[in-house]
Amino acid sequence: MKYDFILISTADWDNPFWTNKQHIAKRLADRGHRVLYVDSIGLRRPEVNKKDLKRITSKLKKYTQGILKKQENLWVWSPVVIPIHSNELVRKLNFKIMELSLNRFSNKLNFENTVLWIYNPLTQPLVGKLNEKITVYHCVDELSAQPGMPVKTLKEEETLLLKKVDIVYATSKSLYDSKKNINAQTFYSPNVADFSHFNKALSSNLEIPEELKSISGPIIGFIGAISSYKLNFSLIENIAKKNPDYNFVFIGQIGEGEPSTNIDQLKDLKNVRFLGAKSYDNLPSYLKRFDVCLLPNNLNEYTKNMFPMKFFEYLAAGKPVVLTPLEALKDYYNLCYIGEDAESFSNAIKRALNENDDKIINKRIQESKKHDWESRIDKMLESIDDNINKKKADK
């Protein structure tokens, strides 16, 4: 059956680093399902800084454009709300406006077999208001553990959402365990990768970017959001100082999700480079030059519940990965190297650089191949079909 999806995201469609939200929306549209992708309404209250002011200006501009068709079967709408989510009256006003707008757009697009797919727990008041046949909550992070969040409101709204929705997908086992207690129709659905895209890093025809060609010596690389609640900057600093002959390259937006992020302690290190965000299309060419890939995460409440999508992207490129002991990746420790402090992390990087075993490279590639978007979406659509069929049978 073909469905019409209203996908309420926590990431804007045009964010250079695609997350599961954009990947799922695009692949559903490619399969012939119609998708209305709703940009993030934001979770934290904006601050008075350049990044937030730029984002507000961009949101207002996009809002005036209405719904924009991005490809066949896929439209994007960027709503504007009053970003005071802890105030109940403001939330009611925000979601009444969103409800009216989304129903108007749904009618305009002739949506019928509608699936409401939610990432943001604050939008739970929309459940049952958009003529949807089924509602999905895709829980990909412990959002309340991010800096600047309205923690009490988020937790309360998420509990209400879990009680309302038909299906819950959780991307880590800890998220699965906590959500399953509230909604029995919770499925463990870890993040996956765009295997065919990142596997291009192994192609002999792929050109290495100019800014990496001039770097001599090993490159130890990271691709993703560079934010202090996610990455352990002190660990990175100590590793870089202990290994002056290694080049540590970071690709991504600094302060993503946390504008107050400060990288001053790393800026002056000669062997640490921040190259900024790169287009999704070009990421495999950067990965090709990496000798080792990094996941130097903090171990906190947020990362305890995080399954980093970039892990399988690194594996798809056949690269050795050195990481702090992230709970969600326990099942894959045999495919990577673990470091808990600067000493053990440095030793892990050295072992990774000295790796000379085609078998382990192939194991990483084959494991990543099992975790691609197409097989994951097959399973998700199957559970939606089953739920709708059960509803019909119960009538």
Q: Give pLDDT, residue 286.
A: 97
Instruction: Find, among 5, 368, 78, the residue nearest to 197 by Cα.
Output: 368
pLDDT in tens, 90-143: 878 888 989 999 999 999 999 999 999 999 999 999 999 999 999 999 999 888
How far is Cα 98 from Cα 344, in angstroms, rounded to an integer?
A: 50
- The predicted pLDDT at position 113 comes to 93
Q: Residue 168 to residues 319, 353, 361: CA-CA distances in angstroms?
A: 32, 40, 34
AA letter at 160: L
Q: How does pLDDT run across 161-189, given as a tens digit for each residue? A: 999 999 999 999 999 999 999 999 999 99
The pLDDT > 90 percentage for the chain reads 76
Per-residue pLDDT tens digits of the chain, which is 395 residues long: 899 999 999 999 988 778 899 999 999 999 999 999 999 887 555 555 566 566 656 665 666 777 999 999 999 999 987 776 667 788 788 889 899 999 999 999 999 999 999 999 999 999 999 999 999 999 998 888 887 778 898 899 999 999 999 999 999 999 999 999 999 999 999 999 999 999 999 999 999 999 999 999 999 999 999 999 999 999 999 999 999 999 999 999 998 878 889 999 998 999 999 999 999 999 999 999 999 999 999 999 999 999 999 999 999 999 999 999 999 999 999 999 999 999 999 999 999 999 988 999 999 999 999 999 999 999 999 999 999 988 888 86
- Is the CB of residue 72 less than 8 Å from the CB of residue 29? yes
Which pTM value belongs to this model? 0.87
What is the rounded CA–CA span in Å between residue 50 and residue 32? 40
List of domains in the chain: 4-192+372-394 (3.40.50.2000), 195-370 (3.40.50.2000)
What is the pLDDT, as a whole number, of residue 216? 92
The confidence score (pLDDT) of residue 52 equals 56
Predicted local confidence at residue 43, as pLDDT: 56
Rounded distance, CA 107 to CA 287, Å? 44
- CA 158-7-395 angle, to 5 degrees, is 75
pLDDT at 262: 92
- Which residues on neighbouring strands pair with residue 250, listed in sequence order? 222, 274
